[in-house]
Structure 1
Amino acid sequence: MNMNCIAIDDEPLALQLLKSYIEKIDFLQLENLFTDGLQGKEYLENHPVDLLFLDIQMPDITGIQLFSSLKEKPLVIFTTAFSNYAAEGFNLDAVDYLVKPFHFERFEKAVNKAKELQEFRLNKTKENDFLFVKYDYQWNKIYFNDIVLIEALDDYIKIYQKDTHPILIHMSMKAIMEKLPESLFLRVHRSYIVSIDKIKSWNKNSIQISDQEITISNTYQKQVQEVLESRLK
């Protein structure tokens, strides 16, 4: 799968370095380079791309302002000399954040991540065996088979996985449930989603999963019973 891309940076030398890196990646097709942020913005409004390499500190318009203004947002990798913008960049769902100067190996890691995300977007209507979630300031792949249960914690969710530590993600239960296959996961409580395959035992009021006993709330009792009893047939 090829990805067409452009780069916007007010420093010509930085653009030339990006160009040389891009040309080393087989699946990247460089469409254009811009030292003027406003010209780059105008180009993007008329020529959608898959991936955008974008500097943050530029005259006339910052990279953050430019990307926020786009109606059709491509995957973006921010490239900047200022690490203090990292949190703001990732709040815009950036694929990665490269702090100058960066070596080719670091660049390659970022674009490979972009490729995985693009493939996921293109195949999202198919039955995948994984999803991408954002934590530790980057997008990470989690396989459905590794998820044991998911717990709601205010504006966050905690994903418990087998053979590793739980991860905390800023996401609602509704949002994560929409990303999970109904055939594999079941909501049993306003605060819990469980992996059906990981259930050890169950009754009308609770489910035993891993070393935890999860209460089945009244709201979900009928649905849980129907789903689990269908597995007995």
Structure 2
Amino acid sequence: MPMIRCLVVDDEPLALHIVEDYISKVPFLELVKATTNPIEALTLVQEGNVDLVFLDVQMPELTGIQFLKIANGKAKVILTTAYPEYALEGYELDVVDYLLKPIAFDRFFKAVQKAQGILQPSAKPVASVESAPQSDFLSDFIFVKSEHKIQKVYLRDISFIEGLKDYISIFTSGERIITLQNMKKMEDALPERHFVRVHKSYIVSLNKIDSIERSRIWIGEKIIPVGDTYRDQFFKIIDGKNI
């Protein structure tokens, strides 16, 4: 079975690097090029050298939506952006999937499995993220904007996330990272087998939970409430790990 030829287009070099790294972890993907130049990328697509494009929406020379319209279906596209308001228009233009930044590997892998099902319908799918080489929770990470820098955060280091009015706080064992982000977007970016929403204001790492008493979770000295909306799903997950 031939590899799926991939092109990454984003005006942020750091975002390019993240998707390049993720592509290298998936056995059926091959990186053709990663570029900040959408015009160059469009030429590659029109020449038929690409099967799948990871396309940023907000670019100065040519937006992702404009790119899609010009490409006219000559390659399948997965949109990557920090702006959820573009999702509807993207789906109307028949994109494979829509990834909100920061992108976690689990979510990326689900999107490329969907693309493989379209591009290689007879291929035997990789059953799970665990089956993909190097897709290890210990080495997976996200990038978040904090103050005037973009900070790399390893998923293994996150204890819990607290949502406040206009931003969220990511608590690791050694620091608190504040970023302008909403809880829904962060929840979607994190692998669900390791992180769970337990309250409108809290996401916790299952690996970091020390104890649970009734509707309260202890992570170190922090006590986190389990909200009524999330209680049944949370305890269903916990019951599945009981011995």
Q: TM-score, normalised by structure 1?
A: 0.51
1:192 is the counterpart of 2:202: yes
Aligned pairs for 1:42-61 within 5 A: 42-47=39-44
Query: Structure 1 122/28 Cα, relative in aligned 2: closer, same or farther at 3 Å?
Result: farther
Aligned pairs for 1:1-233 within 5 A: 42-47=39-44, 65-68=60-63, 71-72=66-67, 124-125=109-110, 126-127=129-130, 128=135, 129=137, 130-136=140-146, 137-163=148-174, 165-233=175-243
State which structure, 1 or 2, has the greater radius of gyration over its C-alpha atoms.
1
**Structure with the larger RCO, 1 or 2 (CA within 8 Å, 6+ apart):** 2
Query: Structure 1 69/218 Cα, relative in aligned 2: closer, same or farther at 3 Å?
Result: closer
- Structure 2 unmatched runs, 5+: 1-5, 10-30, 69-80, 83-101, 111-128
Query: Structure 1 67/213 Cα, relative in aligned 2: closer, same or farther at 3 Å?
Result: same
Q: Identify the residue that residue 36 of structure 1 maps to in structure 2.
A: none
Instruction: Find the aligned partners of 2:202 and 2:34 in 1 and give their Cα distance.
Output: 45
Instruction: Find the aligned partners of 2:106 and 2:149 in 1 and give their Cα distance.
Output: 16
Instruction: Find the aligned partners of 2:61 and 2:166 in 1 and give their Cα distance.
Output: 28
Instruction: Find the aligned partners of 1:29 and 1:230 in 2 and give their Cα distance.
Output: 43
Number of residue-to-residue matches in the alignment: 153
- Structure 1 unmatched runs, 5+: 7-26, 32-39, 52-62, 74-91, 94-116
SS in 1 for 2:178: strand
Identity of aligned residues (%): 26
Instruction: Find the aligned partners of 1:72 and 1:133 in 2 and give their Cα distance.
Output: 25
SS in 1 for 2:237: helix
The answer to whether the 8 A contact 1:131-1:179 is kept is: no
- Give me the CA root mean square deviation: 4.2
